Chain A
Amino acid sequence: MKTEEFCKMISRSKPGPGDGGNTGSWRVLRPVINLELCIPVKMNKKACFNCWLYCPDSVVSKTIPPVINFDYCKGCGICAEECPVDAISMVDEATPMEEEK
């Protein structure tokens, strides 16, 4: 009659990343930051960070330079659209990443 003998299964999820899997695989277009234009990089101080603010998936870091987590970036392009100096371009996902070249 011990309580522990009952209710061994309960639908309570524990927090963790990547419930949707590797959502980076959803991407058709990939954001590429031109560091020569990026405001915080150019000014070498914390500034702008529109890409960080508007990212729906919190995959852009608030760092100099901003870094995108491509494991989870869904490629929506909001960062590119909201960048005030057009430093981010959306390139075809089929083009190799910098480190792959």
Chain B
Amino acid sequence: MDRLKIIKKNIMEKKTTILNLTEEEFVHSGNRACSGCGLSIIYRMGLKALGKNTILVVPPSCLTVLQGLYPVASTKLPCVNVTFASTGAAATGVRGAMKALKKENVNVVAWAGDGGTGDIGIQALSGACERGEDIIYICYDNEAYMNTGVQRSGTTPQGVLTTTTPIKGKLQEKKDVPAIIAAHGIGYVATASAAYPLDFYDKVKKAMTISGPRYIHVHTPCPPGWSFDTRFTIKVGKLAVKSGLFDLYEIEDGEFQLTGESKRLVGKEKPPVTDYFNSQGRFKSLDAELVKKVQERVDAKWAKY
């Protein structure tokens, strides 16, 4: 490892703590996000990390609602709302303009939901990754189309009840979007969770030190969509990680490594996935056979770590 890389690594490994986390806020209180919203937590953290010199690109999603109805904006950063399928391309356009106007020092950040990223937005995002656009793309994954009333998405896990899988639960497995993005060979892919906001903050900070396309996929609990009490947003998010269902990792220059809580879990006994399933109403139609299958999949995955 060359000197620069070591220095960079040392700087990065100084983890942010609650005490040294900036008090500056970029999201106004009194916005329209639901009570206990996981997105609100990570949006607040992400914007703290990104800071003032940032331009946001946002497709339709809960974030559109959080950001406020005309003429009031709940975000203190410039933002362009774009059509659902176009986020990756629109971020490309902002970066293109920054290059043309010689304003190189701006973070261009796309922030979209899981449906807007892995379903309708995947083509534009894939194009941006392939072209090597200098953008940060953050996907908050609340595992369904929440803004329209909890319809299934490609990233809804198997067995989950949604308004379009109302009786049997979703039949198919969750689409692995970060793996698809990583297959483009971009410099930085990471996962994070709303339950570990400082870990997410540090990943955004790290992404800002890298150029080219950077992708962060954030597991984001949603109280109304997942049917749990608003006070448990962090608890539910942590259970997803601790049970080994959602893993925190980074893929930097093609090198995969577990991070944070997931790294600490290697070789340790984990709570069963049923603890996570029982914490929410959306899993209540799961049968024992599927639960067993999911547990086996998790165990097999962790056996490789």
Contact = CB atoms under 8 A, between A and B. Distances in A.
A15 B28 contact: yes
B33 A56 contact: yes
Nearest to B69: A19
Contacts of A35: none
A77 B230 contact: yes
A92 to B, nearest CB: 15
A76 B18 contact: no
B212 to A, nearest CB: 30
B231 interface: yes
Given A18-B30, A76-B36, A81-B235, A49 B18 contact: yes
B197 interface: yes
A13 B68 contact: yes
Nearest to A58: B25
A54 B30 contact: no
A23 B231 contact: no
B144 to A, nearest CB: 19
B175 interface: no
A53 interface: yes
Interface of B: 18-19, 21, 23, 25, 27-38, 40-41, 44, 67-76, 197-198, 223, 229-235
Interface of A: 11-23, 26, 46-50, 52-59, 62, 69, 71-72, 74-78, 80-82, 90
